[in-house]
Amino acid sequence: MNPVNYLYLSALLFTIGASGVLIRRNAIVLFMCVELMLNAANLALVTFSRLHGNLDGQIIAFFTMVVAAAEVVVGLAIIVSIFRTRHSASVDDTNLMKL
């Protein structure tokens, strides 16, 4: 199977994630979309790793996963605490620090 198809899939996933970030307002959905973009990048990295025949891409994919996990921990905690105080998960409502 031509590895280039994996790259197309990766681009598709990234685009879906990016559009989601731009369009949706719910913080949870936004979060999922960011994850989608990260995983699209992971997929691309793994594909390139296979194409070039070395392991660098796979190693970086692991790093990405670790960072994504850490991000989920912190991010979800923030979203939950915002939801508790404001009873809404819409990102547009959270503008306390806006001038």
Partner 1 sequence: MNALIPVLVAAPLAGAALLLLGGRRLDAFGHWLGVVASTASFVAGAVLFFDMLGRSTADRPVHQHLFSWVPVGGFRADVGFQLDQLSITFVLLITGVGSLIHLYSVGYMAHDERRRRFFGYLNLFLAAMLLLVLADNYLLLYVGWEGVGLASYLLIGFWQHKPSAATAAKKAFLVNRVGDVGLSIAIMLMFTQFGSFAFGPVFGTAHTASEGKLTAIGLMLLLAACGKSAQVPLQSWLGDAMEGPTPVSALIHAATMVTAGVYLITRSAAIFNLAPDAQLVVVCVGAVTLMFGAIVGCAKDDIKKALAGSTMSQIGYMVLAAGLGPIGYAFAIMHLVTHGFFKAGLFLGAGSVMHGMDDEVNMRHYGGLRKYMPVTFVTFGLGYLAIIGFPGLSGFWSKDRIIEAAFAKGGTEGWILGGVALLGAAITAFYMTRVMIMTFFGEKRWQPNAEGHEPHPHESPSVMTLPMVVLAIGSVFAGGLFALNNAFLHWLEPITGHSEGNAPLGSLTISGLTLLCVAVGVAWSWAVYGRQPVPAVAPVGSALTRAARRDLLQDDFNHAVLVRPGEYLTRGLVYGDTKGLDGFVNGLAATIGGLSSRMRRMQNGFVRSYALSMFGGAAVLVATTLLMRSV
Instruction: Please give the residue ranges that form the binding site for partner 1 (CB under 8 A).
Output: 18, 21-23, 91-92, 95, 98-99
Question: Toward partner 1, which CB reaches closer, 30 or 61?
Answer: 30
**How far is Cα 47 from Cα 5, in angstroms, rounded to an integer?**
9
Between 84 and 98, name the residue whose CB sits nearer to partner 1: 98
Type of residue at 60: I
Give the residue among 40, 38, 23 at the shortest CA–CA distance from 75: 38
Tokens 């390139």 sit on residue:
48
DSSP 89: -
CB 1 → partner 1: shortest distance, Å?
Answer: 26
- Residue 35 and residue 69: Cα distance in Å, rounded? 10
Q: Which CB atom, from 12 or from 23, has the smaller least distance to partner 1?
A: 23
Q: How far is the CB of 8 from partner 1 (least distance, A)?
A: 16
Residue 31 Cβ, how far from partner 1 at the closest point, in Å? 12
State which residue, 34 or 61, has the beta carbon closest to partner 1: 34
